[in-house]
Amino acid sequence: MSWWQRLRQRQKLDEQLEKELRFHIEEHAARLVADGLDPSEARRRARIAVGGPEQVKESCRDARGTRWLEDLWQDLRYALRTIRQRPAFAAVVALTLALGIGSTTLMFTVLNGMLFKPFPYRSPERLLSLQEKTAKATQFGDLWAFAYPNFLDVRSAVRSIEAAAWRFTGGTVSEPGDAEYIQVCEVSAEFLSILGISPAIGRDFTSQEDQAGAAPVALISNSLWKRKFGGREDAIGATLTFNGQQYAIVGVLPASFQLADDSVDLMTLIGQNTQPVMKAREAHPRIGVWARLRDGATVDRARSELAVVASRLAAEYPRSNEGRTFIIDPLRPNTGNAGSTMWLLFGAVILVLLIGCVNIASLLVARASTRGREMAVRVALGAGRARLVRQCLTESIVLGLIGGVLGTLMVFLTLRPFISLWPGSLPRAQEVQIDWRVFAFAISVSLVSGLLFGVVPALRAPARELERSLRAGSRALVGGSRRLQSVLVASELALAVVLLVSAGILGSTFLRLSALDPGVDIHNVLVTRLALSPSVVTDPARIRADWQDILDRARALPGARSVAMVDTVPMREGNNQLGYWTSSALPPRTELPLSLASSVTPDYLNAMGIKLRAGRFFDGNDRMDSQPVIVIDEVLARRAFGDSPAVGKQLWIPDMGSAPQQVIGVVAHVRYWGVDDDDQAQVRAQFYYPFAQVPDRLLRRWSEVMSVAVRTENAPLGIVEPLRRAIRTTARDQVLTEIRTMDQLAEATLARHRFLLVLIGAFAGTALLLACIGIYGVLAFLSRQRVPEFGVRMALGADARDILRLVLRQSVGMIGAGVTIGSLLAYGTERLLQRWVSGVQLGDPVPFVSMVAVLIGAALAASIAPARKASRISPVTALRQE
């Protein structure tokens, strides 16, 4: 019989045991009677001889090997009974735990989906990402995206991997339906198959199609399919006009498909891209390369094959490929700083959970003290210490699990709201889901918390001085528990200090950053990308005319004050960094200092509200045929020319031609990298050059990235519709994309700070509340226990003030210890925050001092009530209690 069967047949086995023993005793008694004994005496002797029926039964039950389970069952029932007896206590405990476990599990759920889960592609552990690496690092580092020709060579030469290329781009779909700007991914033919994805309907690309001159084909996303074709099957084979070119649709991507974190509306073949730059190994469009390790191949094998290709290419194309190697990494999601945000929040909620556990532990210690007599009685009746400890732990683990169940329910309710509150969009939000890992985590956290708050009171189960406990009842244990409870309260306060100081640091950082001048007047400015009609972008003269037309129409809109074009917008993604020098004796390219470069139209300064410091800004006379001019910001002026006036000087910028650029003005510095990050940015210097002086050959590329900035009289979003109508009158397929106000962009740069501040502030508040409840509860309990002592003191002449002081001294001791330890911990936390949150300055005493003061104030306030209560005791009643 297995132990499980034995457990299930417990009742039957007990009955049989009973019957067996009865038989034995009766047989024995019968024999004794036959020997002439009195029947009742015979029975008594028989029972003794067998060893006492009940004891024998217990030993036989032990022999079954299921005892631990039966005990567990008994402990569980006992635990539930105790919990039912004190529902208020249990509710407080369960809610505290639900909050702690729930928020910890919530953070884990996000971490799990975002960082721990692999990509949702077929056997993701065999997927690799390839990069180029140069021997020498430049200002931009030594890792580079692939050049398309290099990819082609790698793909054909390296046998142990199957490589695929992809490149993000965008463009206008003009047919069918309304013109719309969409996200596009150019891929090589094998891209979807190495990910293990096949189109939901239709077919994948073929490699014959992946070359110049083949008939243009495209795959469309599920959402574009619904938008443009109403989800009809006949979309396969239909055509779609993208950037003026007709594509035959061969398939529809699965609805769940995402490339890393971006949604893709259209997929075309990179081999059909005939732009000349695609053939360049230098100054090339950047290509992403992913690969799948072939069956049986190893990464090391792939590495050595790549080394061979790299050295062959280096010999063949020394100009571009000298010292250039190809490196392989496992394909991993890139989550930016979302990971560190999550780790900070995870750390914070763990602190809250710990404080909650300590709080519960001190409640349980207080209760255990009052239950001391019960425990002593149990020991006297033969319960072993281990048995009592186990029983106490069972009780706390049951509480922990109740909290865990409630907490998990909380996660179900709060997960989606949490994700929607995330500043910007949460990376890999699709994959953030409640799965078995989350459940396993919740269960482990519940068990660990149960053990954590249960173990201290459980170990206090009486073992020594039993008769003292029995005689004196509850009070006998208070002496020891006073020290223990002080330690618990002090550690609670210490943890609360860490959270409070963190919130304080984040708060002061946020305030400081918000007060910074972004350098632009961010109110009432609309910025939007604008995609020109695909029909004009091939002709430079038409491009210039079209832009001029757009500017004129936008200026004529009611409510528009000034309108300008700009390629790179401050605080928005995208920048252009160019090397500069102050003389014609240029050092090697990689040693040039860098500056941000923006091409703008003359009204830019007015549209953005940037202050002119010296000289002039561009005007209509700065054209292709006039002298090349630039306007620099204060930072570049100081870097390049020190204290001497910059206007009238020249800068050599090799990427803009060999002729020097004349500096005609100096303007205020703009916090281009965002309010928070600009101070730490590597490249802060800025200069502006006229869009009118962008050479014809670059005009098409520039036009793809230009945005329009409009300073408005009133709310800037109100001008979006008129603007859209205005630009459509020139060409139906001209569309606005990425419509933002500068307010939004500036706010977005502080969104992470605000998010962290709000959440960690809330956790700190919770921690403070819990710690205050803790200190209040412990003082109230200890004072109650000390009532007789106070009585004696009062009888001997102490007055109410003395008693008040006595209780407060106890609380001041706990607060002092907590604050000291907490400050040390907070000191370390400050460094962590400085590393993970931009703009945090070390050694700022304000958050420390103010937050510690808040904590001390709150803790003292929580101590006053029990202290005053104790001081108001009448000595007579107090002494009577003894």
Q: Terminus-to-terminus CA distance in the chain, angstroms?
A: 58
- Output the six-digit token pair for 342: 């999550």
Task: Quote the CA–CA distance of 198 and 192 in Å, as a whole number.
Answer: 7
Beta carbon of residue 486, minimum distance to other proteins (angstroms, whole number): 48
**Residue closer to other proteins, measured from CB, 1 or 421:** 1
Beta carbon of residue 360, minimum distance to other proteins (angstroms, whole number): 41
- Triad 772, 777, 781: Cα angle to 5°: 150
Beta carbon of residue 69, minimum distance to other proteins (angstroms, whole number): 14
Three-state DSSP at 314 gives: helix
Three-state DSSP at 231 gives: coil
- Output the six-digit token pair for 278: 């695609």
**Residue closer to other proteins, measured from CB, 24 or 385:** 24
Beta carbon of residue 293, minimum distance to other proteins (angstroms, whole number): 52
751, 423 Cβ separation under 8 angstroms: yes
Closest CA to 323 of 132, 134, 590, 149: 134
What sign does the CA torsion over 872, 877, 881, 882 have? positive
**Residue closer to other proteins, measured from CB, 54 or 316:** 54
**Residue closer to other proteins, measured from CB, 25 or 878:** 25
**Residue closer to other proteins, measured from CB, 6 or 133:** 6
Three-state DSSP at 476 gives: helix
**Residue closer to other proteins, measured from CB, 33 or 448:** 33
Bridge partners, residue 218, by sequence: 249, 268
**Residue closer to other proteins, measured from CB, 49 or 853:** 49
- Output the six-digit token pair for 93: 């405990």
Bridge partners, residue 182, by sequence: 171
**Residue closer to other proteins, measured from CB, 53 or 765:** 53
Radius of gyration of the chain (CA): 38
782, 810 Cβ separation under 8 angstroms: yes
**Residue closer to other proteins, measured from CB, 28 or 649:** 28
Closest CA to 130 of 341, 306, 365: 306
- Output the six-digit token pair for 495: 């943890």
**Residue closer to other proteins, measured from CB, 20 or 233:** 20
Beta carbon of residue 42, minimum distance to other proteins (angstroms, whole number): 14
Beta carbon of residue 756, minimum distance to other proteins (angstroms, whole number): 60
DSSP string across 85-144? HSHHHHHHHHHHHHHHHHHHHHHHHHHIIIIISPPSSSSGGGEEEEEEEEEEEETTEEEE
Closest CA to 246 of 531, 536, 534, 542: 534
Closest CA to 497 of 840, 844, 852: 852
Count CB-CB contacts under 10 A for residue 669. Answer: 22
Task: Quote the CA–CA distance of 558 and 639 in Å, as a whole number.
Answer: 42
**Residue closer to other proteins, measured from CB, 55 or 311:** 55
Q: What are phi and psi of 152, to 5 degrees?
A: -60, -40
DSSP-assigned letter for residue 581: B
Beta carbon of residue 9, minimum distance to other proteins (angstroms, whole number): 12
**Residue closer to other proteins, measured from CB, 6 or 378:** 6
**Residue closer to other proteins, measured from CB, 64 or 301:** 64
Beta carbon of residue 378, minimum distance to other proteins (angstroms, whole number): 24
Beta carbon of residue 32, minimum distance to other proteins (angstroms, whole number): 12
**Residue closer to other proteins, measured from CB, 2 or 682:** 2
CB neighbour list of residue 156: distance below 8 Å, 6 or more residues apart: none
- Output the six-digit token pair for 41: 């005496």
**Residue closer to other proteins, measured from CB, 65 or 479:** 65
Cα torsion 678, 681, 686, 691 to 10°: value is: -90
- Output the six-digit token pair for 344: 């900070």
**Residue closer to other proteins, measured from CB, 10 or 869:** 10
DSSP string across 698-718? HHHHHHHH-EEEEEESS-GGG
SS (H, E, C) 153-180: HHHHHCCCEEEEEEEEEEEEEEECCCCE
**Residue closer to other proteins, measured from CB, 4 or 116:** 4
- Output the six-digit token pair for 228: 């443009």
Bridge partners, residue 672, by sequence: none
629, 540 Cβ separation under 8 angstroms: no
Beta carbon of residue 382, minimum distance to other proteins (angstroms, whole number): 16
Beta carbon of residue 20, minimum distance to other proteins (angstroms, whole number): 5
Three-state DSSP at 481 gives: helix
**Residue closer to other proteins, measured from CB, 5 or 584:** 5
User: Rounded to a whole number, what is the largest CA-CA distance in the chain?
Assistant: 139
Residues that bind other proteins (CB under 8 A): 1, 6, 16-17, 19-21, 23-24, 27-28, 48-52, 55-56, 59-60, 62-65
Beta carbon of residue 45, minimum distance to other proteins (angstroms, whole number): 12
Beta carbon of residue 65, minimum distance to other proteins (angstroms, whole number): 6
Peptide bond into 176 cis (omega under 30): yes
- Output the six-digit token pair for 300: 């090391």
Count CB-CB contacts under 10 A for residue 828. Answer: 10
668, 678 Cβ separation under 8 angstroms: no
What amino acid is encoded at 47 in this protein? R
